[in-house]
Amino acid sequence: MQEFHLIDSNPYVISDTLWERILFTHETDNRVVKVLQVWTFKDDYIYVNSFGTTPDSYFGYIPTIYEIISGVKIYTKNITDIPSGNIKESIYRSQ
C-alpha cells in the first residue's frame, strides 16, 4: 500500500461485540483514498468490513457507513447443523 497514513485506531462495540476500528488514507493510481475498516474475531473466524472513498467525500458517507456498521450481527452455527451445506448463509447475516 503506497503512502499509508494511519489517522485513528480504537476499539468499537457493535451489537455487543468488540471490534477494532481504524481510519487511514493511502494512495492508489495517483489518488488518495480514505478508508474506515472494522474487524473482529469470533469462533475462529475473522470478520472485516471496509469502506473507502475520496477524502472530500468521506464525511458525507459517515451517517450511512455507521448505519450499516451498527446493523451488523454475526450468527454462527456448528457446521454439522447445516443440512443444506450452505455455510455462507449460516455464518453471516446482516439485519
pLDDT at 94: 45
pLDDT at 2: 78
Delimit the domains of the chain by residue range. Answer: 2-94
Task: Name the fold adopted by 2-94.
Answer: Protein Transport Mog1p; Chain A (3.40.1000)
Q: What confidence tens digit (pLDDT) does each residue in 11-47 have?
A: 988 878 889 999 999 998 889 999 999 999 887 888 8
pLDDT at 95: 44
pLDDT at 16: 80
Three-state DSSP state, 17? strand
Three-state DSSP state, 14? strand
pLDDT at 85: 54
